[in-house]
Structure 1
Amino acid sequence: MSAQQKKGHVVAFAFPFGSHPTPLLHLVQRLAAAAPPGVNFSYFNTAESNQKVLPNADLKSYDNIKAYDVEDGLPEGYVFSGNPLERIELFVKSTPDNFRRRLEEVVEETGLKASCLLTDAFCGFRWTWRRNWGFLGWRSGRRGLRRFRFISQNQDQTLDFLPGLSAIHASDLPHELLHLDQPFSRLLYDMSLALPRATAVVLNSFAGIDPDVETDLKSKLKKILNVGPSPPPPGIDQDGCLSWLSSHAAASVAYISFGTMLTPPPELLALVEALEEKQIPYLWSFRDDSKRQLLQRFFEKTESVGKVVEWAPQTRILAHPSVGVFVTHCGWNSVVESITGGVPMICRPFFGDQMINRRRVQDVWRIGVGVEGGVFTKSGMMTALDVVMCGEEGKKMRENIGRLRECASRAVAENGSSTENFKSLVDIVTSSSHQEYINSVES
């Protein structure tokens, strides 16, 4: 098929950190499977992130998706200081020029001009090279930031001036939101400018989970499309996690995963001491080889009750009846997947929106607990395990999460709200009559 015969070129820009790149790729796969013939999809991500994401994506089964590497902003021979945000800041400094250069090369190679930009919200740059988006949202963004800075002086104050966020405390706000002199902070601010200009904002969420927030967003953005919860992505359970779970009793296993990051070493020791004391079967998605040696003795001592893997099919694991609790960093995708599986959470957030998500899980939806004092201790973790897995409070959490799970099921049913929204999204991204700019808020 010649370039002239092809009907569209949807270009996806991934933010290459944390859990961001994988959900965007899954969304691209869903769209590619539903798109009419002739629509092509390009997925742009850094080489390092692509090496982690692509092996589990099975792109060989799609003839209309191609992945490309973009520059990560790291100077040659650069030595890291150990700051976990350092890679992000270097990447942010290189954007959007890195995406623009790579896209121009791809267009020249293929003859396919971009008909739609599907970007992670963190890649919602000021696309002055793409089109003039104007300055809508500048004043409200500045005014909101001044308000946040003021209330940050009282950490217990709640955000009751924002619809649907009256339970969120100032202490839950991301540190980066309040300091515009940092690269990551400027990225957040650019995102606030980009979202009102987007043709549509796509959310891995569903109707009924946050009605007040959804109503407020609909009043401020052009189009909101909740398309979640996403179906389980294709992939192979290469380590036999599901068969291992099937050998355990219902709601007896603790599933542990902190996304692409891990807790600091002292906290890891406290966590494993609690697991060993309680003798709770555990399945741990443990991705950081640099810290494996620290816990190797524990893994060996508990191999009769525990299983450690580098990668786990999380959506399917959380849907397994043997899983009784999810110990999580509280990233948004993990929260949605836990709700979909009906599994209450023990939350240990680290940065970004994870503290806000923890507050929702614990105090708004009442489907989990945060760890005592905000960090893992042996006694605090043992208490949390007792509350979620043994007590009356844990039973109530399961009832609450069951109601949210029902909302999610209705949303993805035939003619459900998320199903219909996804059909609308397919129509938007595959339209060849005009160019579109779409933000995807996935994590």
Structure 2
Amino acid sequence: MSMTKTFHIAVLAFPFGSHAAALLSLAQRLAASAPPGVVFSFLSTQASNAKIFSKSTHSLIKPYDVWDGVLSEEVTPKSPQQLVEIFLKATPDNFNVIIRKAEAGTGAKVSCFLTDAFLWFADDMAKEKSVPWLAFWVAGASSLSAHVYTDLIRAHSSVANKEENVKIVPGLSAIRVADLPEGVVCGDLESPISKMLQDMVIKLAGATAVAINSFEELEPVATNDLKPILRNVLNIGPSTITVPLLLSKSDDASGCLKWLDNHETGSVVYIGFGNVLVPPPNEIVALAEALDSSKIPFIWSLPDTMRSLLPNGFSEKTKGQGKIVAWAPQLQVLRHPSVGVYVTHCGFNSLMESILCGVALIVRPLLGDNMMNCRLVEEVWKIGIRVKDDKFTKCGTMKALDTIVFSDKGKEMRDNVGILRSLLLESTGPNGSSTQNFKTFSDQLFTTRLTINP
């Protein structure tokens, strides 16, 4: 069949944290395997697009900027949560405006929606246009399960019993009520973000497929339980490895890799908390004091705006011991043989990178699914340790460092992460589960292309 019409995929991103970058990675994979006549319009905010698009972005993917909801005359600083809430108030109108612009730019009506699962209103958009909607969950199966089962969990759990395990949900038996994302049982259950997640669960049943940014073998019970509930639940990740993100040493402007070359195998601690939130100032001080006293070599990725929080004289005092940089090529650093410990908030992408690189974790959760990830890291996979009371103190951090670097328990953690690494590599191999699931997902996406009449 000859094709003369364009198959136009509208990709709608949630422009906060690592969400948009993960969705763009998926779009890149799809573009690389797309049949003729397919184009992608990628819709996110201007700030988000400017950050994640580069010269290496596939030529079939064109960015379009949607309004972030912030009024031009507004000058009062906003917290990350406030920015999310402002953005949510602007949806879906801000996306509808730019969808019309993208349709005019491509000369083709939208043929399919591929969106972050958070953007539940894509279900309504797809139905209005009589086209498919495919959703992408950027984290793991367990966190998706927690939201899918929110009503059931609330009916059997309460804030008063935070230490109880969520045994009623398959795959979450090791998770405590206290570990669940805010808005499931604890926190403001009527906040815009909580409401967004509630609406998402209702609408996801209408999605043609739900892709998860993980691999089958990591959370098999939760994954298999979701399959009868949602259509085409497919672990197609992690994007960390399925889309190459490795940099050459020439891209390492901060000199981290050259510095690591001069250290022994497994001797260095890498500290990085992503680009959304960092621990409070008193904990930054405690972490710095623990590093100073431990004398363990470290690389700390810390924005310049946070340097003033470090104890007086810390940088000079630890100059021979550590390296503080505003930005580090994180995946390359973690892959370096000299790195043996990763201190992180345990976001899902960071978790996947640690598994890929075979590095044990010291975790201090900050938001979202971090608490669940931390619990799984320590109690289920046994590849890391949470800092005591989920807060950095000098004593607690030094104890965690000592456990991972020097104890038999630390060796067991490194062995366990090595096992998960092998499973991850197998899943993303030629015949692996993630590879096969991606093929199924792309088939779901591109099959509808044949319905377009030439």
- TM-score after normalising by structure 2: 0.87
Pairwise CA distance, 1:124: 2.3
> 1:211 and 2:228 equivalent?
no
Equivalent runs, 1:79-94 vs 2, <5 Å: 79-80=75-76, 83-94=79-90
What CA distance in whole angstroms lies between the structure 2 residues aligned with 1:332 and 1:241?
A: 23
What CA distance in whole angstroms lies between the structure 2 residues aligned with 1:66 and 1:72?
A: 18
Match of 1:248 in 2: 263
Give the 3 Å change call, closer, same or farther, for CA 416–100 of structure 1 in structure 2.
Answer: same
Task: State which of 278, 281, 305 in structure 1 corresponds to 2:294.
Answer: 278
What CA distance in whole angstroms lies between the structure 1 residues aligned with 2:373 and 2:101?
A: 39
Moved more, 372-381 or 28-37: 28-37
What CA distance in whole angstroms lies between the structure 1 residues aligned with 2:398 and 2:297?
A: 14
Task: State which of 367, 385, 392 in structure 1 corresponds to 2:383.
Answer: 367
Secondary structure of the residue that 1:74 maps to in structure 2? coil
Q: Which runs of 5+ in 1 are unaligned?
A: 134-139, 436-443
What CA distance in whole angstroms lies between the structure 1 residues aligned with 2:171 and 2:362?
A: 23
> 1:299 and 2:308 equivalent?
no
Match of 1:398 in 2: 414
Secondary structure of the residue that 2:183 maps to in structure 1? helix
Pairwise CA distance, 1:408: 0.7
Task: State which of 109, 112, 124 in structure 2 corresponds to 1:128.
Answer: 124
Q: Is the 8 A contact 1:26 1:233 kept in 2?
A: no
Pairwise CA distance, 1:143: 3.4
Give the 3 Å change call, closer, same or farther, for CA 9–246 of structure 1 in structure 2.
Answer: farther
The structure, 1 or 2, with the larger RCO (C-alpha pairs under 8 Å, 6+ apart) is 1
What CA distance in whole angstroms lies between the structure 2 residues aligned with 1:85 and 1:122?
A: 15
Match of 2:203 in 1: 194
Aligned residues: 421
Q: Which runs of 5+ in 2 are unaligned?
A: 131-147
> 1:17 and 2:16 equivalent?
yes
What CA distance in whole angstroms lies between the structure 2 residues aligned with 1:160 and 1:307?
A: 44
Secondary structure of the residue that 1:351 maps to in structure 2? coil
Give the 3 Å change call, closer, same or farther, for CA 127–283 of structure 1 in structure 2.
Answer: same
Paired AA for residue 176 in structure 1: G
What CA distance in whole angstroms lies between the structure 1 residues aligned with 2:441 and 2:246?
A: 21
> 1:160 and 2:167 equivalent?
yes
Secondary structure of the residue that 1:225 maps to in structure 2? strand
Pairwise CA distance, 1:210: 1.1
Match of 1:51 in 2: 50
Match of 1:439 in 2: none
What CA distance in whole angstroms lies between the structure 1 residues aligned with 2:122 and 2:437?
A: 26
What CA distance in whole angstroms lies between the structure 1 residues aligned with 2:253 and 2:10?
A: 30
Pairwise CA distance, 1:246: 2.2
Paired AA for residue 147 in structure 1: A
What CA distance in whole angstroms lies between the structure 1 residues aligned with 2:356 and 2:373?
A: 16
What CA distance in whole angstroms lies between the structure 1 residues aligned with 2:327 and 2:119?
A: 26
For residues 294-325 of structure 1, the C-alpha deviation after alignment (integer angstroms, 9 at most, x for no partner) is: 23842343233322333333233222211111
For residues 155-213 of structure 1, the C-alpha deviation after alignment (integer angstroms, 9 at most, x for no partner) is: 11110000010111111122223434211111111221232221111112112111111
Match of 1:426 in 2: 442
Pairwise CA distance, 1:102: 0.9
Paired AA for residue 205 in structure 1: S
Match of 2:62 in 1: 66
What CA distance in whole angstroms lies between the structure 2 residues aligned with 1:398 and 1:53?
A: 32
- TM-score after normalising by structure 1: 0.89
